[in-house]
């Protein structure tokens, strides 16, 4: 075999290997995107209750854009996902609902970024809470000012507030600053259909009020370390 022929064969093998690698990468990317799309469609509607309440069949929907991060609904913690800008729909039981959330935007830094330094500015509001009465099968969404620059976003954060708006365009409620001690609602778990059933009697049998215990648990889950320590000192004095 001549050296020229050997070089041609080697070049052919290299080119073939490169094309195969590029094809494999393209296929892997396509598969990843399909899986990601499937996961996104599966998690874009989140239930906010425990159990199987009868009113869930007529649940309302609260649409949250990617910049709104819902952390709690009625005292129940919501799942955090790796993608911060994922728009999600939350299924709400008809009736009173309390939603805790933050507003978060990301802005690219201009100029040179040093090693180890973040390449973006993260602008985030204080935790917000909004309370409203959800009607069966209704759809609601958030409305808020949308800044077109990082400077405007930073300026609006101290006074940030968002409204929950119905399908008719009417605002039902306006958010305000939230702290862990503000949680008045707890996770809504359905009671048994028959009055006086086991769910209703649990508190009387065990000697404590079940609703009060649930409220304590909800507040404990959202309390800071210092608040928990202060509570334990008070409880065991």
Contact assessment for residue 90 and residue 64, using Cβ atoms and an 8 Å cutoff: yes
pLDDT tens digits for 118-175? 888 899 999 999 999 999 999 999 999 999 999 999 999 999 999 999 999 999 999 9
How much is the mean pLDDT over the chain?
75
State whether the Cα torsion 123-124-126-131 is positive or negative: positive
Domain boundaries of the chain, sorted by first residue: 1-43, 45-181, 198-235
pTM of the model: 0.62
How far is the C-alpha of 95 from the C-alpha of 138, rounded, in Å? Answer: 11
pLDDT, residue 1, reads 56
| Weakest-pLDDT range from 85-89, 102-106, 133-137, 180-184 | 180-184
Between vectors from CA 46 to CA 166 and to CA 161, what angle results, nearest 5°? Answer: 45
Q: Which is it for the CA torsion 146, 80, 100, 138, positive or negative?
A: positive
Asked if pLDDT for residue 32 goes beyond 90, the answer is no
In the chain, % of residues over pLDDT 70: 56
Per DSSP, the residues of 1-57 read --HHHHHHHHHHHHHHHHHHHHHHHHHHHHHHHHHHHHHHHHHSEEE-SSS--GGGG
């Amino acid at each position: 075999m001549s050296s020229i022929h050997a070089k041609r064969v080697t070049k052919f093998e290299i080119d073939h290997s490169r094309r195969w690698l590029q094809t494999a990468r393209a296929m892997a990317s396509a598969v990843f995107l399909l899986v990601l799309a499937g996961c996104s469609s599966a998690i874009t509607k989140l239930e906010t209750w425990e159990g199987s309440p009868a009113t869930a069949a007529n649940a309302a929907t609260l649409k949250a854009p990617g910049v709104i991060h819902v952390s709690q609904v009625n005292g129940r913690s919501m799942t955090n996902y790796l993608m911060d800008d994922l728009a999600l729909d939350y299924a709400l039981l008809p009736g009173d609902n309390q939603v805790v959330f933050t507003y978060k935007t990301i802005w690219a830094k201009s100029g040179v970024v040093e090693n180890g330094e973040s390449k973006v500015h993260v602008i985030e509001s204080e935790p917000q809470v909004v309370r409203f009465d959800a009607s069966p099968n209704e759809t609601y969404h958030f409305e808020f000012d949308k800044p077109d620059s990082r400077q405007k976003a930073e300026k609006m954060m101290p006074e940030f507030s968002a409204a929950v708006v119905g399908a008719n365009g009417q605002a039902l409620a306006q958010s305000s600053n939230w702290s862990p001690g503000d949680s008045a609602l707890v996770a809504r778990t359905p009671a048994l259909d028959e009055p006086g059933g086991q769910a209703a009697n649990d508190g009387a049998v065990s000697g404590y009020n079940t609703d009060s215990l649930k409220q304590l648990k909800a507040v404990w889950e959202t309390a800071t370390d210092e608040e928990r320590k202060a509570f334990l000192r008070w409880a065991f004095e």
